[in-house]
Amino acid sequence: MVAVVKLPETRTYNRRECITFRKTAERFGGLSNMAGGYLLNVNGVRILTSEALYQACRFPHLSEVQRQIIGERSPMTAKMKSKPYRGDNSRPDWDMRRTKIMCWCLQVKLVQNWDKFSKLLLETGDLPVVEDSRKDDFWGAKPEDEEILVGANVLGRLLMQLREQVKNGEITSQTIIKPLHIPDFLLYGRAINSISKDGEYYLVNYSDSSEYEEIPSQFDSNSIDSDSILLNVPKHELDPNNESSLNGNPKKDLIEVAELEFDKYDSLRFILPHLVESLQEAERTDKELAELFKTNLKQMREWLKRSVQLRKIKKLSKPVRYAAESQLLLIG
């Protein structure tokens, strides 16, 4: 059976009656995925822009291509880096999943850059938000003349949806962004974990993504305005999948899982994202880490031992040192 991907309806906008963005240096340029200054941390991997994250998601089975994309300092170069691998090398369901993946990328950008990005979204008021694009009338809208823009403006509509979530308090700086319920949602060969404002959120675990292969996407790009992906979700837990099969109280489930590995005052809960980030930069010994984190050697060794057990870092030998799991994939 061949899947038919419906294209969203085309809309018409008047520049004078909406917020537009094209260049990142403009007042609302930060709404663009090309905008710098919105650092992301996914699975302990430092990513410079939401554009690089989005492009990397196109190639879940090609870790080396993901590394090339994420390794570029320029978001435009990161985008261009993906072009030779598109077509047969893109995930087979890319056209069907790309809007949902973009939605997730924007959520991560918001939560991990809360003060700056939420402020920018709110400054757009209640006006339509439109990406002014010379070529792309899917994510943005193309100019017909000096005043009129025409296109699906999917990115702008996702940003408007996100703006409403901020206004209503349905997403906050404390929100946990869950991974998408799609097959092979991977970064550097690892399943993408839930995301907090500080990086990877280690308290929520999902089964292998193949479990979700037969679950149809509930995201209809034809009805972005009324889509319920982000609606009616507890403030502390944002699930872009919003699958009706997830019964029970999500917040209660989250607490129960948390109690399996951390108690309320466990210091590792707060240290672990930073520990992984430091080891992503370079391999380090326990003494170097103790000095870096300004703690005693005994405490650091306890944190390292538990982090290894959680499979977030790995202990290496000859000499004894530690590395982030994602860093091991990078150098292997």
> pTM of the predicted model, to two decimals?
0.64
pLDDT for 241: 53
pLDDT > 50? residue 216: no
Cα-to-chain-centroid distance, residue 72: 17
A 10 A CB-CB count for 142 gives 16
pLDDT > 70? residue 207: no
**How far is the C-alpha of 204 from the C-alpha of 284, rounded, in Å?**
27
Diameter over CA atoms, the chain: 68
DSSP 276-323: HHHHHH--B-HHHHHHHTT--HHHHHHHHHHHHHTTSEEEETTTTEEE
pLDDT for 185: 96
* pLDDT tens-digit map of 67-125: 999 999 999 999 999 999 998 899 999 999 999 999 999 999 999 999 999 999 999 99
* pLDDT tens-digit map of 144-167: 999 999 999 999 999 999 999 999
* pLDDT tens-digit map of 276-316: 888 888 889 999 999 999 989 999 999 998 888 887 888 88
pLDDT > 80? residue 245: no
Contact yes or no for 197/76 (Cβ under 8 A): no
Tokens standing for 90?
A: 């893109």
Q: Which domains does the chain have, with CATH numbers?
A: 11-238 (1.10.357.40), 268-331 (1.10.10.10)
pLDDT for 222: 37
Question: From edge to edge, which strands make up the β-sheet containing 11-14?
Answer: 11-14, 148-151, 142-143
Please provide residue 179's backbone torsions phi and psi, each rounded to the nearest 5 degrees. -70, 155
* pLDDT tens-digit map of 39-64: 999 999 999 999 999 999 999 999 99
Contact yes or no for 36/104 (Cβ under 8 A): no
pLDDT > 70? residue 184: yes
pLDDT for 274: 87
